[in-house]
Chains A and B, each alone.
Chain A
Amino acid sequence: MTKNGVLKKSQWIAGALAVAAVVMAVLVNTTALGQYTWLRVLFGVSALNFTLRASVPLVLGALCGILCERTGIINIGIEGMMLAGAFAAFVAKVATNDWPLLASLLFGVAIALAVGALMGLLHATLSIRYRMDQIISGTVIIILAAGTSAYLFDRDAVAQGKFGPVRIPLLADIPVIGDILFQNPPITYMALLLVVIVHVGLFYTRWGLRSRACGEHPRAADTVGINVNRYRYLNTMLGGALAGLGGGFLVLEAVGQFQEGMTAGRGFISLAAMIFGNWNPFGALAAATLFGYTQALQNELLLAGVTQAPRQFISMLPYVVTIVAVSGFVGRVRPPAAEGKVYETEGSSE
């Protein structure tokens, strides 16, 4: 897919770093190396677990961005779609507190997906039907979600219970790796699985081929009888659903409650992960993991107290890394050629 030499090299580097991290993690957590505080901070099970938890919403948000932008719709409203999903999940959970826990949680997930998809539909309608500038439309989505959720939020409401970890038999028994990867709550597994599904879908199915054609050269798609705007509506809704799921993760799996503005910029970091990952699902996963790791590191460094650096600087870490990563790579990545442009069939003017 990527024939760009630079990206091939970056894929190699990412792969090598991942292998090195795994090796270090295994060594630090199983051998005497674990005595060194610094190594525990960098490679301890808790740091790596935190990384995964922090990456999940970023992965889902980035997949949302990929689905939209690969079909030609710029989506800077991921943050809003995620927040709407989070709030919807919370409301659904609270409303069904007296249901069996699992049913109530699954209902929450379903509502998060549906509300996310509706936000996607809104974005698609504004951008396609009403030809609104897609950046503005995305901004509308963000403000709408922030305002509505804050206004409707009942501060006394409490959601009871959240998703707990599910051990995957055998795999969970692998030392260190099992602890990190195979004892997670369901949405985490789901997010990782979705990376594979979106990748296969985009590059090996009819839907993906047509979607990418709509994002790269919509007229070419039109001339072979593909309904460009239908694909754009569909994929923006699917993307919205994934962002909604990211919000659902925050409420139903990570925190258990809703807080105003709880997405806290994750939608924007997702956007960065999408760009850094060159609009590829696995690239976005790698980028999201890197950003998640910096969040984990920030946390661990503060907890362990191993450095004299003021905590404000340590708290800046995830954002600095995001800026450096994206600014260093933008220009080497290639966005879909037709993104952000309204497509009109030429014959439509009668």
Chain B
Amino acid sequence: MSEAAMPVLEARHITKRFPGVVANEDVNLKLYPGEILALLGENGAGKSTLMNIVYGLYKQTEGEIIVRGKPVEMSNPNDAIQLGIGMVFQHFQLVPVMTVAENVMLGSETIKRGLLDTQQVAERITELSQRYGLAVDPYAMVEDLPVGVRQRVEIVKTLYRNADILILDEPTAVLTPQEIDGLFDVMELLRSQGKSIIFITHKLKEVLRISDRIIVLRDGKVVGEADPKTATQSTLAAMMVGREVILTVDKDEAQPGPVVLDMQDVSAKDDHGQPALRNVSLQARAGEIVGVAGVQGNGQSELVEVLTGLRSLDSGRITINGLDMTNAGPRRVTQDGQSCHVPEDRHAYGMVDAYSVAHNLVLNTYFQPPFANGLTVDEQAIRRHAEDLVERYDVRTPNVSVHAANLSGGNQQKMVVAREFSRPVKLLIAAQPTRGIDVGSIEFIHQQIVAKRDEGAAVLLVSAELDEIMALSDRIAVMYKGEIVDIVPRNRATREGLGLLMAGAHSEEPAPVAGKAG
């Protein structure tokens, strides 16, 4: 990019304060025509806040936004759309019960004789999808579409509004490796047609692969700019976190012991009564980490729920530590089964937002001594216990009486992990244990998981992050449409091979990961 060219978008001295928090502080950023600018930073670094300001959803406290050389005032997304700015949100902003065409035109409708001109919109969508390689059916209902296609709809939505500045907020978080390749192809095509793209992410590998320039944000401030040609993952990670980070998980060869978890031919339905698990058989031995890979929504959530007593089985058998746990309740699974569970959605299942940190830390033990005292609980004991755990697990909180809701995501997760990991357990079930948390916390939680394994616990790790699965697992099971399509030992697994399995390719087909696990 020549520095002489005029930036299409410039943020000057942007500061954004929320009550009690400075989300952005004196941020400067330039986006040049036809480039992909990566905005790299941990969760909570202020990337999304900054982009929401650029898109007119937030109003900056100080500073100005300059679009094509002119300072602009934006009071809502309409103003941004008028200026040719489009945004694809991390959580898709699509109405599930409407068609693609309805979603695309929403807010910028084409009207003929007072009525919506759906046909013309559909033609325009088809034209755009051909031009940019974004295959979508304008008449399909959004709720029927897979995640990857929904993302294409979001991109089409911005192009339909003639956006030439595209902001993609964590677009790869929900995609398979193959879908990520497809997205990057689209991004390159868009760039070649003169569109400018801001790519928000916290994934180092992707940044190095696709971007022309990298700006790193930490604690709301720009900490530096990097050139993808010379930067490495570790230099970027150090910039993001502010200290050296160990990206690879240091662990010894697994020493598998006896079988702790044994599921045989388990089938179960999802919340809508549709089959979610089909004859799933899986074992986990003491001292090994079994990773469960797969695109979200292929039965992993239901798998964890049947194992933890939150969902009933249609058929099959579950044994934990030799005890029959088929359709046992959560209390029995955790107590008699000596298991613990880090749930995938900490807000729904892992913690009570409105409880103090101390109370959250005894959710699984409050009914036992020393916390329970006949009919009453011993607040002193709970408090001492909490202070100890907060210390050991490095949960950053002013004190243990604050509401858990006031902690950052990473600290909330560490709190959940502290509660679950602090009991002696034989089986550890961790679902998405590092979702939405910062690199520093991820490193810590990974170390804790490996430590549990080395203490002799069987670990079942369910994650949508392939890198996490690859880094931690000793064996990797891949789920697709409620079935385990293959179980691969770590040393024989490759990203590409797992990606194909995640997309439904069966192991019978000649895939790089040929061969069943023994």
Contacts and interface: CB of A to CB of B under 8 A. Distances in A.
Interface string B31-66: 000000000000000000000100101110100000
Contacts of A347: 52, 57-59
A217 B52 contact: no
Interface string B72-101: 000011110100000101000111111000
A224 B108 contact: yes
Nearest to A224: B107
Chain A residues touching B, range:
20 to 34
A337 B93 contact: no
Given A209-B106, A346-B57, A225 B98 contact: no
B59 A350 contact: yes
Contacts of B52: 346-347
B116 A213 contact: no
Interface string A255-278: 000000000000000000000000
Interface in A302-350: 334, 337, 345-347, 349-350
B349 interface: no
A223 B77 contact: yes
B19 interface: yes
B57 A223 contact: yes
B18 A217 contact: no
B254 interface: no
A226 interface: yes
Contacts of B443: none
A161 to B, nearest CB: 37
A205 B110 CA distance: 10
A252 to B, nearest CB: 31
B161 to A, nearest CB: 8
A198 to B, nearest CB: 14
Contacts, number: 79
Interface in A198-229: 200, 204-206, 209-210, 212-213, 216-217, 219-227
B96 A217 contact: yes
Contacts of B157: 224
Contacts of A212: 95, 98
Nearest to B161: A224
Chain B residues touching A, range:
20 to 34
A3 interface: yes
Given A206-B109, A223-B77, A347-B58, A3 B18 contact: no
B96 A225 contact: no
Contact of A209 (B77, B89, B109): B109
Nearest to A200: B115
A138 B111 CA distance: 35
A248 to B, nearest CB: 28
Contacts of B96: 216-217, 337
Nearest to B103: A220
A213 B95 contact: yes
A206 B108 CA distance: 9
Contacts of A226: 106-107
Contacts of A216: 95-98
Contacts of B95: 212-213, 216-217, 220
B105 interface: yes
B146 interface: no
A220 B93 contact: yes
Contacts of B106: 209-210, 213, 220-221, 224, 226
Nearest to B17: A350
Given A209-B105, A216-B98, A223 B115 contact: no
B107 A217 contact: no
B48 to A, nearest CB: 10
Contacts of B79: 225
Most buried by A among B59, B96, B97, B98: B97
A2 to B, nearest CB: 10
B18 A222 contact: no
Nearest to B76: A225
Contact of B94 (A200, A204, A220, A349): A220
Contact of A217 (B77, B93, B105): B93
A3 B98 CA distance: 11
Contacts of B81: 224-225
Interface string B368-393: 00000000000000000000000000
A107 B249 CA distance: 79
B483 interface: no
B57 A345 contact: yes
B398 interface: no
Contacts of B94: 217, 220
Contacts of B93: 217, 219-220, 223-224
Interface in B265-300: none
Contacts of B102: 209
A76 to B, nearest CB: 23
A339 to B, nearest CB: 13
B518 interface: no
A217 B77 CA distance: 16
Interface in B107-155: 107-109, 111, 114-116, 141
The 7 A-B pairs with the shortest beta carbon distances in the complex, nearest first, are A224-B107, A225-B78, A347-B58, A220-B93, A225-B77, A206-B109, A217-B95
8 contacts: A204-B115, A213-B106, A221-B107, A224-B77, A224-B106, A226-B106, A345-B57, A349-B19
